[in-house]
């Protein structure tokens, strides 16, 4: 269970096409312009979830969307993923407007969303199959990613036989295996116990530092956001707006980071921004 | 990690019985013996039957003694009559049920995924579902004759809707995130329907089929009793009209046993299909 991410060559992450050149000029990968979203439930009044969100995410950047529950941060992620239609404003991926989901944007959900009738191996193989990877090659690659997330030996287990942390590892392997340029994460560690969560956080960081995907990470956990993200987008209570965008700029390879003073100060600062919104959300939102 | 969780609830209703608990808890006997033990009430009923008729408590015309029923059964069996008619009946059931499963599953899944299909078929399903299908027997015989076609169509009509409804509910209950995962892993909408919605509706579809299986036997016997020239139901009617009651009872018991065996076999199949549900 505690098997850490193994030290592996870059090739294991399938980074082929995108390469690893750290010095490349920063390109805007995701451009969100004036996006709003209104939920229209079958019964009851429509709910305005998001209002005029504008945000740009650079290639290979790790951005956290932080806010109280119900602030629409997951909605924004689903809009980027193409799972919900963009009805107000525009979302461009590499300059192209989003038109439905696609394998260029991999997603990891809070409750794993593994296919329960497939074994771990077959879950991971699924996306590779859709990509048209040859049979032997996709099994080989799937095993590589299962190994990467420390699930070797559980290839033939069904999700119902795994713990929460193991399920999330499998889900991450499934998403990484198709080598998406963008990784969308919807409170991926939110349903894990504290120990597993902190373990998974550091493993995600290591994976990201190797594969350098663009990551949009939704969370309501301030510590998690400060620890993982390069930039934090603090969102207001419903209807969600961008309240503030902060650059973190901490050295995440410092093993003492979590106990360091700059880290604590950053967490305090971000928490002060989120706190008032959390209170507003608790009292039933803004409108 | 709990890699081997206990079996699901599919086992049936006898689990809570105190004697079964006592027996299982003591750890005596093989699973086979324990299986037999569960059916003790049936053996008791058989004993009661035999005893009541032997002691003259019940007229032999009303209820022939069990040993005579067995003798009559052996006679029908060795003459080949029973097997021939059972084969006819079972093939009718299988054909009707297979059609119902195929069409019912397709219709249910399409109704769940397309508003257009739903608005077209929903009123039809609503109207036909509560109708007693046995009322159609004379009409189907009029249209399709005394042979197998009228039986197969009746079973098909009676069994399709339970499968349709369960497939519809199962498909509607598919978790949105599973569909989204499939789409973002690169599956087309059609592929998602086939590879994600269908398997995730499978538990419900299978329970619908199990209900349909019971319906199938009811409709089979009813239609063969009323208008047929072969089949177990036909045999029951024919033997009863001729006053050969021990043989008639033998065929009735055979039908009951076949229905029971089919249900058990289906349960085993179901568990195999749903192994992934820890």
Chain A's closest residue to B2, CA to CA, is A161
Mean pLDDT of chain B: 88
Question: Does the pLDDT value for residue A285 go beyond 80?
Answer: no
pLDDT of residue B165: 95
Chain B residues touching residue A153 (CB < 8 angstroms): none
Supply the ipTM of this predicted assembly.
0.86
Chain A residues touching residue B197 (CB < 8 angstroms): none
pLDDT of residue A157: 95
Rounded to an integer, what distance in angstroms lies between the CA atom of residue A267 and that of residue A270? 5
- B136 and B223 together in one domain: yes
- B84 and B49 together in one domain: no
**Closest CB from B191, B195, B277 relative to A160:** B277
- B155 and B31 together in one domain: no
pLDDT of residue B1: 37
pLDDT of residue A133: 92
pLDDT of residue A148: 86
Q: Residue A26 phi/psi, 5° resolution?
A: -75, 120
pLDDT of residue A16: 41
Question: Does the pLDDT value for residue B269 go beyond 80?
Answer: yes
**Closest CB from A102, A113, A178 relative to B177:** A113
Is residue B143 one of the residues assigned to a domain?
Answer: yes
- B155 and B253 together in one domain: yes
- State how beta strands A242-247 and A231-235 pair: antiparallel
CB A107 to CB B184 under 8 A? yes
pLDDT of residue A25: 57
Question: Does the pLDDT value for residue B2 go beyond 50?
Answer: no
Chain B's closest residue to A110, CA to CA, is B177
- State how beta strands A47-58 and A28-39 pair: antiparallel
Please, what is the angle between helix B81-113 and helix B115-128, to 10°? 140
Q: Does B201 touch chain A (CB under 8 A)?
A: no
Is residue B45 one of the residues assigned to a domain?
Answer: yes
Is residue B69 one of the residues assigned to a domain?
Answer: no
**Tens-digit pLDDT profile for residues A95-135:** 999 999 999 999 999 999 999 999 999 999 999 999 999 99
Is residue B87 one of the residues assigned to a domain?
Answer: yes
Rounded to an integer, what distance in angstroms lies between the CA atom of residue A15 and that of residue B153? 58
- B198 and B116 together in one domain: yes
Q: How far is A261 from chain B (nearest CA, A)?
A: 38
Rounded to an integer, what distance in angstroms lies between the CA atom of residue B89 and that of residue B234? 9
B19 pLDDT band, cuts 50/70/90, is very low
- B128 and B264 together in one domain: yes
Chain A's closest residue to B188, CA to CA, is A130
What average pLDDT does range A198-207 have in this prediction?
A: 87
Chain B residues touching residue A116 (CB < 8 angstroms): 200, 276-277
Kindly give, in sequence order, each residue whose CB lies less than 8 Å from that of residue B199, ignoring residues fewer than 6 positions away: A115, A117
Is residue B192 one of the residues assigned to a domain?
Answer: yes
Residue pairs between chains A and B whose CB atoms are closer than 8 Å: 80
How many domains does chain B contain in total? Answer: 2
pLDDT of residue A152: 93
Q: Is A99 exposed, middle or buried (0-12, 13-18, 19+ CB in 10 A)?
A: exposed
Chain A residues touching residue B175 (CB < 8 angstroms): 113
**Closest CB from B1, B185, B276 relative to A163:** B1
Q: CA-CA distances (angstroms) from residue A138 to A48, A122, A125, A167, A170?
A: 43, 10, 6, 20, 15
Is residue B62 one of the residues assigned to a domain?
Answer: no
Please state whether B194 falls in left (phi above 0), alpha (psi between -120 and 50) or beta: alpha
Say which CATH number the domain at B236 has: 1.10.3720.10
What average pLDDT does range B142-155 have in this prediction?
A: 94
- B121 and B252 together in one domain: yes
Give me the domain span that covers residue B163. 80-277
Chain A residues touching residue B270 (CB < 8 angstroms): none
B residues 4-43 closer than 8 Å to A (CB): 5
Q: How far is B133 from chain A (nearest CA, A)?
A: 35
- State how beta strands A182-186 and A214-219 pair: parallel
CB A103 to CB B5 under 8 A? no
Rounded to an integer, what distance in angstroms lies between the CA atom of residue A58 and that of residue A26? 6
- B154 and B34 together in one domain: no
A residues 40-99 closer than 8 Å to B (CB): 78, 81-83
CB A127 to CB B186 under 8 A? yes
Question: Does the pLDDT value for residue A200 go beyond 90?
Answer: no
CB B200 to CB A105 under 8 A? no
Q: How far is B223 from chain A (nearest CA, A)?
A: 39
Q: Residue A14 phi/psi, 5° resolution?
A: 65, 25
pLDDT of residue B34: 82
Is residue B225 one of the residues assigned to a domain?
Answer: yes
- B116 and B159 together in one domain: yes
Q: Which residues pair with A107 in a beta bridge?
A: A184
Rounded to an integer, what distance in angstroms lies between the CA atom of residue B245 and that of residue B48? 19
Please, are residues A109 and A144 in contact by the beta-carbon 8 Å criterion?
A: no
**Tens-digit pLDDT profile for residues B22-80:** 444 444 567 788 888 888 888 899 999 999 988 888 888 888 998 999 999 999 999 99
Question: Does the pLDDT value for residue B142 go beyond 80?
Answer: yes
**Tens-digit pLDDT profile for residues B159-206:** 999 999 999 999 999 999 999 999 999 999 999 999 999 999 999 999
Rounded to an integer, what distance in angstroms lies between the CA atom of residue B183 and that of residue B192? 7
Chain A's closest residue to B182, CA to CA, is A127
pLDDT of residue A27: 86
**Geometric angle at alpha carbon A270, from A268 and A274, rounded to 5°:** 115
pLDDT of residue B29: 67
Q: Does B197 touch chain A (CB under 8 A)?
A: no
Question: Does the pLDDT value for residue B20 go beyond 80?
Answer: no
**Tens-digit pLDDT profile for residues A72-92:** 899 999 999 999 999 999 999
Q: Which of A55-64, A222-231, B23-32 has the lowest mean pLDDT?
A: B23-32
CB B184 to CB A106 under 8 A? yes
- B123 and B86 together in one domain: yes
* Consecutive H or E run containing B259: helix B245-273
Is residue B70 one of the residues assigned to a domain?
Answer: no
What average pLDDT does range B268-272 have in this prediction?
A: 93
- B260 and B199 together in one domain: yes
**Closest CB from A107, A116, A163 relative to B276:** A116
CB B184 to CB A113 under 8 A? no
Q: How far is A23 from chain B (nearest CA, A)?
A: 30
Q: How far is B191 from chain A (nearest CA, A)?
A: 9
Residue A150 corresponds to which tokens in the numbers above? Answer: 């420390």
Please, what is the angle between helix A73-81 and helix B176-184, to 10°? 40
A residues 91-110 closer than 8 Å to B (CB): 100-103, 105-107, 109
Q: Does B181 touch chain A (CB under 8 A)?
A: yes
Q: How far is A64 from chain B (nearest CA, A)?
A: 21
- B30 and B87 together in one domain: no
**Tens-digit pLDDT profile for residues A5-55:** 444 433 444 444 444 444 455 788 999 999 999 988 888 888 888 989 999
Rounded to an integer, what distance in angstroms lies between the CA atom of residue A94 and that of residue A104? 11
CB A107 to CB B191 under 8 A? no
CB B187 to CB A130 under 8 A? yes
Q: CA gyration radius for chain B?
A: 23
**Closest CB from B184, B275, B277 relative to A105:** B184
Best B183, B185, B275 member to test A by mutation, with max A CBs in 10 Å, is B185
B residues 124-143 closer than 8 Å to A (CB): none
Best A3, A109, A114, A116 member to test B by mutation, with max B CBs in 10 Å, is A116
């Amino acid at each position: 269970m505690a098997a850490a991410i193994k030290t592996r060559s870059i090739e294991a992450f399938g980074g082929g096409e995108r390469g690893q050149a750290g010095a490349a000029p920063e390109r805007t990968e995701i451009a969100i312009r004036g996006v709003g979203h209104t939920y229209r439930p079958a019964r009851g009044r429509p709910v305005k979830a998001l209002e005029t969100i504008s945000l740009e995410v650079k290639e290979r950047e790790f951005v956290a969307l932080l806010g109280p529950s119900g602030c629409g941060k997951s909605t924004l992620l689903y809009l980027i993923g193409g799972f919900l239609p963009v009805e107000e404003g525009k979302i461009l991926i590499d300059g192209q407007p989003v038109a439905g989901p696609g394998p260029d944007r991999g997603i990891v959900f809070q409750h794993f969303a593994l296919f329960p009738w497939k074994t771990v191996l077959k879950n991971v193989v699924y996306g590779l199959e859709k990509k048209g990877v040859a049979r032997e090659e996709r099994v080989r690659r799937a095993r590589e990613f299962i190994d990467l997330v420390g699930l070797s030996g559980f290839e033939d287990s069904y999700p119902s036989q795994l713990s929460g942390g193991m399920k999330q590892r499998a889900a991450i392997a499934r998403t990484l295996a198709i080598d998406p340029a963008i990784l969308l994460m919807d409170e991926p560690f939110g349903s894990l116990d504290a120990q597993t969560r902190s373990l998974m956080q550091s493993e995600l960081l290591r994976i990201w530092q190797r594969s350098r995907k663009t990551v949009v990470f939704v969370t309501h956990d301030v510590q998690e956001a400060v620890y993982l993200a390069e930039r934090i987008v603090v969102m207001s209570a419903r209807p969600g707006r961008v309240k503030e965008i902060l650059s973190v700029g901490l050295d995440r390879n410092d093993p003492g980071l979590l106990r360091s003073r700059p880290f604590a100060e950053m967490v305090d600062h971000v928490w002060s921004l989120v706190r008032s919104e959390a209170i507003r959300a608790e009292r039933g939102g803004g409108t | 990690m709990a890699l081997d969780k206990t079996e699901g609830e599919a086992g049936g209703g006898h689990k809570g019985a105190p004697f079964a608990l006592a027996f299982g808890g003591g750890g005596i006997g093989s699973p086979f013996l324990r299986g037999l033990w569960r059916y003790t009430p049936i053996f008791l009923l058989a004993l009661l039957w035999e005893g009541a008729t032997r002691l003259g408590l019940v007229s032999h015309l009303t209820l022939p003694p069990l040993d005579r029923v067995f003798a009559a059964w052996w006679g029908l069996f060795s003459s080949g009559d029973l097997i021939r008619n059972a084969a006819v009946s079972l093939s009718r059931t299988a054909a009707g049920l297979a059609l119902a499963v195929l069409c019912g599953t397709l219709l249910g899944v399409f109704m769940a995924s397309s508003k257009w299909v739903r608005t077209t078929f929903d009123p039809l399903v609503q109207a036909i579902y509560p109708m007693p299908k046995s009322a159609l027997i004379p009409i189907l015989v009029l249209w399709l004759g005394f042979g197998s076609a009228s039986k197969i169509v009746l079973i098909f009509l009676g069994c399709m809707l339970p499968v349709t409804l369960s497939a519809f509910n199962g498909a509607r209950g598919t978790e949105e995130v599973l569909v989204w995962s499939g789409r973002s892993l690169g599956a087309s909408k059609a592929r998602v329907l086939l590879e994600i919605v269908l398997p995730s509706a499978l538990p419900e579809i299978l329970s619908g089929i199990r209900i349909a299986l019971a319906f199938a036997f009811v409709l089979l016997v009813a239609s063969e009793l009323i208008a047929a020239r072969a089949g177990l139901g036909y045999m029951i009617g024919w033997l009863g009209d001729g006053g050969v009651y021990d043989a008639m009872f033998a065929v009735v018991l055979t039908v009951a046993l076949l229905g029971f065996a089919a249900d058990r076999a289906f349960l085993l199949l179901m568990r195999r299909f749903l192994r992934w549900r820890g």
